[in-house]
Structure 1
Amino acid sequence: MAPPGPARAEPKEDHLGPVLQRLTALHPKAIDLSLDRIRALLTRLGDPHLHLPPVFHVAGSKGKGSTTAFLRAMAEAAGYRVHAYTSPHLVRFNERIRLAGSLIDDAKLIALLERCERVNAGAPITFFEITTAAAYLAFAEVPADLVLLETGLGGIADTTNVIPQPVLTALTPIGIDHVAFLGDTIAKIAANKAGILKDGVPCVVGPQPAEAITVIEARAAETKSPLFRQGRDWVVRETADGLVWRDRVVELSLPRPALLGAHQVVNAGVAVACARHLSGFAIAPDAIAAGLRQVDWPARMQRLTRGPLVDLLPPGAELWLDGAHNAMAGEALAEALTLLPQRPTWLLAGMLNTKDAAGFLKPLVPGLQGARCIAIPGETNSLSAEDLTSAARSVGLTAEPAGSAEAAMRQIAEMIRADAAPAPAPNHARVIIAGSLYLAGRILSENA
């Protein structure tokens, strides 16, 4: 389930605003991290989660969204109609629910949310629980061949974990994250996330720390779930012109993923393994290759080339956006930046107060000139600009607070110009915006 606290504020022009705000007000005063509330609501709704197409279920600390995006692109390239449930959204809530290839439209989503609201009858329930119930209704009512479900938090008590018998599960890399809810060790977090394993259902396992593997294997023994582990049962590696993916049966030569970064090679490899092990589905190598080329997943090393924030920078300076928000993602982002041509790089950061800011920022320090830190607009659970600045300084990063993304960008632009003087065209700099998917959503909205 999503952590306690207010749901993110919706843009004022969003037609969904009124119903989403009413649902937020139902948030229980205490979180019991159980599935009792969601199960009770689903029962009153006619158990839509029991009437879905075959379900793929994924959990992990890093990469589950990208893995889901890759797998969706592959399955759609093979001709399948695919539903997908992901979180959080970037700009519009509709992004969380994709029906047979298209984002759910406002009218249908409002009708489903209001239906859940009526049936719930004012009982305490989290925002994530009731909106997930709406997704199940949508998936049960619109024909499709496959449902892709991404956990919101953990696994055992996540609202997506009510599916009794998915066709396949997957565990992307597990690290330290959400310690207040999942535990303060890799083993505890892995035990929670491995809670999505079901009796006899195969599970694809991405690269994991040794402590996580021990726990995952124990859970798989309990559930008699066959594991397909990276490094043991399949491997993926980069080549000069793409990827090679190999298991004990086939070796596939594949194109480079459309998403940038070594971590996306890992995510692509997990998705290929999932495509190979989706029982009842035929996803041929050409569809897998097409999915890698065609995948679209915003705010994952996304280059912004136009818009008011871009216009604030000197001509030729690059602006990139990434949703990285924990220590593992900080390491992946730092590595991804090394793949780009070398340029002086500045960071514009905003983070939630539930995240390890210092842990996220530390890997980035060697590649940065400095940072400007902001509070995420509209997010009650955002770190203040001052607190984030303190975290940045604690790991050796030169940082200052700023009042907004626009103000931060103006300050960075001035520093870029000063560093470039006396050159007439300061076109050698790069700015990366990162720290939170919620921040990424605000940036995409502001820069539209």
Structure 2
Amino acid sequence: MSQPSDEILARLMSLHPKIIDLTLDRLTRLLDALGNPERAVPPVIHIAGTNGKGSTQAMIRAGLESQGLRVHAYTSPHLARFHERIRLAGELISEPALTALLDECEAANGGANITFFEITTAAAFLAFARTPADFTLLEVGLGGRLDATNVIDQPRLSIITPVSIDHQQYLGETLPEIAGEKAGIIKRGVPVIVGPQDEAGLAVIEARAARLGAPVLAYGQHWHVAEENGRLIYQDERGLLDLPLPNLPGPHQIVNAGAAITALRALGLDDTACEAAVTRAEWPARMQRLRQGPLAQSAPGVELWLDGGHNPAGGIAVAATLARMPARPTHLICGMLNTKDVTGYLRPLAAQAVSLTAVSIPGEPNTLPAAETEAAARAAGFARTATAPDVAEALAQIAAADPQARVLICGSLYLAGQVLKQNG
């Protein structure tokens, strides 16, 4: 009898002590041993960028599936269960399928050095190659050039969402360096859709595209998107679209929707697919309202939200979303990793919240201690700060003092995953 996937995944974590080690050599060797499944996956749409990858992917998937097309999707990290990372023809991978694939990849790897992300990406390619579908949506894990997903030679489309400063220890200290890593997914002759970029970053992306003869569809040049009078207005050379606002909340979702629409139009899909992309997409822990579950029910008068953004651009996006919500005292419950620019993330949020309660992320070795998050919040301009042993206690404290509050749990996808598990 096969082991549960959780046990196999835990064992795979030990194959290479470094969680992140960017090179494609180990994965290429394993894929060769597996018969190169990455060459047999359905047509790929490859998505890189710092912020908005997952939301853009979710919108493209909604648009494709609205036309009856079958879509594979690969994303990371997962929130509650690993199975979320691999979606086969619209359905999350089953436990028996996942355990069989992991067993096969582990046997083919033969105990050699390989990272957790590399071996699980190989498992995803095997699954995608063996299950018929019309498209494969691949979200880059980290960077682009040396990311495990970047073994696809000829995707159908490449997409680069907004690039900002994050993961400097792996991708470079400056925006052009980081943009260069993201631009590594651009392939010869393959169209690349580019979201809003800093001028220096855009120059790097356009230069690589020009070297490779890759047609560029750039925001502000080849396509435009904006909110006007409560509608989403999109325009490109094919004409104008007047659509409902995205069902994923926040002004930053306007440009993500624009990139998704550009992709769908580049694939030849019609306006109904574009409308479905903005109205039917689902993407948890991106300004997600929690209405049900034990956590939500423990504070019935509180308006409870969850967001996994964790870098300065994410903080700006969340702050802009809060600024547009109906007036209500807003309190943050925040837990972050020690690898992030905590003050940079929190600074834009200080003007939108009356307090911040810091927590550590349970079971996460790289969590920032709650006391350090609290200190960063004070440095970022929060007047009222506190710590709590966990999210449930933080929520209870806030609800006791302000029973009609708006509470946003934020700061990390890892924290968001814990909350979704806890909330059932």
TM-score by length of 2: 0.97
The answer to whether residue 71 in structure 2 is matched with residue 107 in structure 1 is no
Write the letter of the residue equivalent to 1:365: A
Name 1:420's counterpart in structure 2. Answer: none
Q: Which residue of 2 aligns with 1:404?
A: 390
1:390 aligns with 2:375: yes
For residues 5-24 of structure 1, the aligned pairs below 5 Å read: 15-24=4-13
CA distance in 2, matches of 1:346, 1:195: 40
Question: What's 2:251 paired with?
Answer: 262
Tell me if the contact between 2:249 and 2:287 (Cα under 8 Å) persists in the aligned partners.
yes
3-state SS in 2 of match to 1:83: strand
Superposition TM-score, scaled by structure 1 size: 0.92
User: Match of 2:408, as an amino acid?
Assistant: I
Matched, 1:189 2:189: no
CA gap of 1:15–1:251, structure 2 versus 1, over 3 A, is: same
Q: Pairwise mapping of residues 297-336 of structure 1 onto structure 2 (< 5 A)?
A: 297-313=283-299, 315-336=300-321
Aligned-partner Cα distance in 2 for 1:15–1:404? 29
1:121 aligns with 2:132: no
CA distance in 1, matches of 2:212, 2:50: 22
| Contact 2:19-2:116 within 8 A present in 1 as well | no
Aligned to 1:61: 50
Moved more, 81-90 or 241-250: 241-250
Q: Would you say 1:247 and 2:236 are equivalent positions?
A: yes
Distance 1:47 1:188 in 2: 31
CA distance in 2, matches of 1:135, 1:87: 12
**1:167 CA displacement:** 0.6
What is the aligned counterpart of 1:431 among 386, 390, 407? 407
Task: Find the aligned partners of 2:170 and 2:355 in 1 and give their Cα distance.
Answer: 32
User: What is residue 212 of structure 1 aligned with on the other side?
Assistant: 201
Alignment of 1:358 onto 2:343:
yes
Query: How big is each residue's C-alpha offset from its partner over 1:20-73, in whole Å with a ceiling of 9 and x where there is no partner?
Result: 111001024596521000000000000000111110001000001000000000
Are the aligned partners of 2:307 and 2:408 in contact in 1 as well (CA < 8 Å)?
yes
Tell me the residue number matched to 2:417.
441
Q: Which residue of 1 aligns with 2:151?
A: 162
- The one-letter code of the counterpart of 1:261 is G
Q: Of the candidates 389, 399, 411, which is equivalent to residue 413 of structure 1?
A: 399
Is the Cα contact below 8 Å between 1:312 and 1:413 reproduced in 2? no
Q: Is the 8 A contact 1:154 1:189 kept in 2?
A: yes
In structure 2, the residue corresponding to 1:204 is in which secondary structure? strand
State the partner residue of 1:372. Answer: 357
Aligned to 1:8: none
Using the alignment, how far apart are the partners of 1:143 and 1:104 within structure 2?
Answer: 14
Match of 1:86 in 2: 75
Q: CA deviation at 1:276?
A: 1.1
Q: Does 2:279 align with 1:277?
A: no
Structure-2 separation of matches of 1:44 and 1:175: 37
CA distance, structure 1, for counterparts of residue 341 and residue 416 of structure 2: 18
Q: Kindly indicate whether the alpha-carbon contact (under 8 Å) linking 1:77 and 1:288 is maintained by their aligned counterparts in 2.
A: no
Q: Choose which of 323, 326, 332 in structure 2 pairs with 1:347.
A: 332
Give ranges in structure 1 of 5+ residues lacking alignment.
1-13, 417-425
Amino acid at match of 1:215: V
CA contact (8 A) 2:21 2:115 kept: no
- Could you list the per-position Cα deviations for residues 374-410 of structure 1 after superposition, in whole angstroms to 9, with x for gaps in the alignment? 1111111111111111111111213222111111112
Q: Is the 8 A contact 2:19 2:115 kept in 1?
A: no
Of 58, 61, 76, 1:72 maps to 61
Deviation at residue 414 of structure 1 after TM alignment: 2.4
* 1:262 match: secondary structure: coil
Residue deviations 1:262-290, cap 9 Å, x none?
10111001100111113xxx421012112
Per-residue Cα deviation, 1:204-258 (whole angstroms, up to 9, x for no partner): 0000001101111111111111110111111011122421111012211112111
- SS of 2:158's equivalent in the other structure is strand
Instruction: Return the alpha-carbon distance in structure 1 between the equivalents of residues 353 and 18 of structure 2.
Output: 42
Judged with a 3 Å threshold, the aligned counterparts in structure 2 of structure 1 residues 186 and 153 are, in CA distance, closer, same or farther, namely same
Letter in structure 1 aligned against 2:185: I
